[in-house]
Amino acid sequence: MQEKINEKIFPRELTDSEKYCLFSILPVGKPGYNSYRKKIESLYVIGFGRQGGSNLILGKLDQQPDIDLPSTPVFASGTLILKEGMIDICINEEIDDQIEIDINLRHGGTLPTEINDIGNHNFSEWNPRDNSPIDDSTVRQIKIEEGKYVLAISKLQKKIWLHDFNSGVNHLIPVSNLFNYMLMVRNIRDKNIAINPNLLFEQLDEFTDRDFLSAFLMYNKYFRKVKLDYQIPAESQKQQKKKNIFQKIFRG
Q: Are residues 93 and 170 in the same domain?
A: no
Asked if 142 and 151 count as a contact pair (C-beta separation under 8 A), the reply is yes
Question: What tens digit of pLDDT does each residue of 176-218 get?
Answer: 999 999 999 988 888 888 889 999 999 999 999 999 999 999 9
Q: pTM, whole model, 2 decimals?
A: 0.85
The answer as to whether 188 is a domain residue is yes
**248 pLDDT tier (thresholds 50, 70, 90):** low
Mark whether 73 and 118 lie in a shared domain: yes
Q: Among 122, 154, 172, which residue terminates a domain?
A: 122
Task: Specify whether 104 is located in the same domain as 23.
Answer: yes
Residues 95 and 148 in one domain: no
Residue 218 neighbours by CB distance under 10 Å: 17
Supply the pLDDT for residue 223: 85
Picking from 89, 122, 155, the residue at the C-terminal end of a domain is 122
In 3D, which of 210, 202, 92 has the Cα closest to residue 151? 210
Residue 173 lies in a domain: yes
Alpha-helix runs per DSSP H in the chain: 16-23, 31-41, 175-185, 191-194, 199-202, 209-223, 239-251
Query: Which residues does residue 61 pair with via DSSP β-bridges, in sequence order?
Result: none
3 state SS of 224: coil
Q: Are residues 85 and 173 in the same domain?
A: no
Q: Are residues 144 and 117 in the same domain?
A: no
Query: Which residues neighbour 60 within 8 Å (Cβ) at sequence distance 6 or greater?
Result: 43, 44, 46, 97
pLDDT tens-digit map of 107-136: 888 898 999 999 999 999 999 999 999 999
pLDDT at 251 over 50: no
Q: What are phi and psi of 74, to 5 degrees?
A: -70, 130
When comparing pLDDT for 8 and 172, which is higher? 172
User: What pLDDT is attached to residue 59?
Assistant: 97
Please state whether the peptide bond connecting residue 11 to the residue before it is cis, i.e. omega within 30 degrees of 0: yes
User: For residue 154, what are the domain limits?
Assistant: 139-251
pLDDT tens by residue, 58-80:
999 999 998 888 899 999 999 99
Q: How many domains does the chain have?
A: 2
Same-domain status, 174 and 71:
no
